[in-house]
Structure 1
């Protein structure tokens, strides 16, 4: 049953853009969604089944799940027993400078391991250590910074050198324009034409390209961005009713339904949970 599922989000006291999630899922299913952050998770018990990056994945205990920012995914328990897992959500602003430092370069963006599911005991240990420091609220700032640096360094070791081809570069650049436009106007009443114009693409070509690249429509992406922006506003203590209408939801019931399918709890529950 869905009510047997439990989700606890804990923001790091020392790393302002890192959040840990402890999840117990029994009967709950995530809707398709994407996060602004890099996500690093470890399946603890049960089996984590999800669709991402054009493939269906099954993660047994011990597996690492890696999702890059904006990667569309869903998720549910794949077996009869409950699913237990932890996840770290790390904003690009927090970890990409560490990627660059580990790679010995001035700047590095969009670091992506080729595998969505990873078997790496060293990386798993680093992830679990940072989760422990955050959830138990122990350790100093430097300990948490060092734990995150070890995660970034191990990811860079696994990635090696990545250079996309020219067609991929062009498509990524055009779609990035569209995504930037959406983020800058997340509280506006956007149309498909507004967004495709920002990418300098015809409306229907843009729609096909976007859906093929990300696995959701631009409209679904806009809703996802609004929920992510609303989540950030809730974390700062903004009144719930203000958040509902600021980000274009018709009413609180609509916002509750959308939010819960991504975060496993209502916005009010999340705001209470994250600010403890």
Structure 2
């Protein structure tokens, strides 16, 4: 019997998700005109999807980290004096204040997604590992897990992301960059069982409102990155995932009791019925409608 570690399983899952997203973007890139889609600002972080042929933009630089995933075509750019190339599924890591240009390397054109993260958003995560801001030597990285994190954080561009989930993703992205920069892993230290249990109680009591990482910091006395690590060590999951699963438990109970799916979604803290549908199917392998029919039977 072959046994996979949690990290390998996560990499495999991320690779499958990226493959599906890349295939979809490849289909879109074969038709339509050049364009840039800019998502609504999210906590000071810009998110875009760009599609174009030929030269995309002239040399310039940002005061943020520019992190993205090549979705279709071959992405090319000059960075730190060299021509770089990124095929679909690869991650782009551009550091603040580094001059670069960009374009499609072939006539097939290019589609990519990118997010621009102010360096100060990474400081708490890097401080937790005793490091300064990460510098990743290669601007093109083959890392399915990091690509999956970025695509999840960038999202579908027209949907909002819960603050707690987004803070967790930023922390995981920072940790992945530190790994690529060769930073040592943080020492495990003591297990904070009382603090994690207080966080669990708080999440269960606040299913129907937006919970932020700041809320959990106030309840536990741990910073958000330490709490996320402790959650994974003790419960094998993240605070946001724990919150979603408790919401699903409530929704299942309400649906079993005869409530409509829309009412169950509202009463369980989901934004709407579609939001419940996505999480329900992903976690339980069936739609709420099918679950309702089976419960009634």
Q: TM-score, normalised by structure 1?
A: 0.52
Q: Displaced runs of 4+ in structure 1, greater than 6 A? A: none
2:201 corresponds to 1:150: no
Deviation at 1:10? 2.0
| Residue 195 of structure 2: aligned partner | none
Residue in structure 2 matching 1:76, options 103, 116, 141: 103
Paired residues of 2:48 and 2:114 also in contact (CA < 8 A) = yes
Residue in structure 2 matching 1:4, options 24, 27, 33: 33
2:77 corresponds to 1:50: yes
2:54 corresponds to 1:31: no
Separation in 2, partners of 1:53, 1:11: 31
Deviation at 1:78? 0.4
Q: Secondary structure at the match of 2:39?
A: strand
Deviation at 1:111? 1.5
Q: Secondary structure at the match of 1:126?
A: helix
2:146 corresponds to 1:123: yes
Deviations 1:138-196 (A, max 9, x none): 3311011111111111111221249xxxxxxxxxxxxxxxxxxxxxxxxxxxxxxxxxx
Paired residues of 1:5 and 1:28 also in contact (CA < 8 A) = no
Deviation at 1:7? 0.7
Paired residues of 2:122 and 2:133 also in contact (CA < 8 A) = no
Give the superposed CA RMSD.
1.9
Structure 1: segments with no counterpart, 5+ residues? 163-276
Paired residues of 1:11 and 1:18 also in contact (CA < 8 A) = no
| Residue 46 of structure 2: aligned partner | 19
| Residue 64 of structure 1: aligned partner | 91
Deviation at 1:19? 0.8
What are the equivalent positions in structure 2 for 1:259-270 lying under 5 Å apart? none
Deviations 1:217-275 (A, max 9, x none): xxxxxxxxxxxxxxxxxxxxxxxxxxxxxxxxxxxxxxxxxxxxxxxxxxxxxxxxxxx
Separation in 2, partners of 1:111, 1:76: 26
Larger Rg: 2
Deviation at 1:74? 0.4
Q: Secondary structure at the match of 1:152?
A: helix
Separation in 1, partners of 2:41, 2:132: 23
Separation in 2, partners of 1:87, 1:80: 21
What are the equivalent positions in structure 2 for 1:236-247 lying under 5 Å apart? none
Q: Which has the higher contact order (CA 8 A, sep 6+)?
A: 1
Structure 2: segments with no counterpart, 5+ residues? 1-31, 185-297
Separation in 2, partners of 1:21, 1:154: 21
Paired residues of 1:25 and 1:82 also in contact (CA < 8 A) = yes
Q: Secondary structure at the match of 1:57?
A: strand
| Residue 40 of structure 1: aligned partner | 67
What are the equivalent positions in structure 2 for 1:66-145 lying under 5 Å apart? 66-101=93-128, 103=129, 105=130, 108-132=131-155, 135-145=157-167
| Residue 198 of structure 1: aligned partner | none
Q: Secondary structure at the match of 1:4?
A: coil
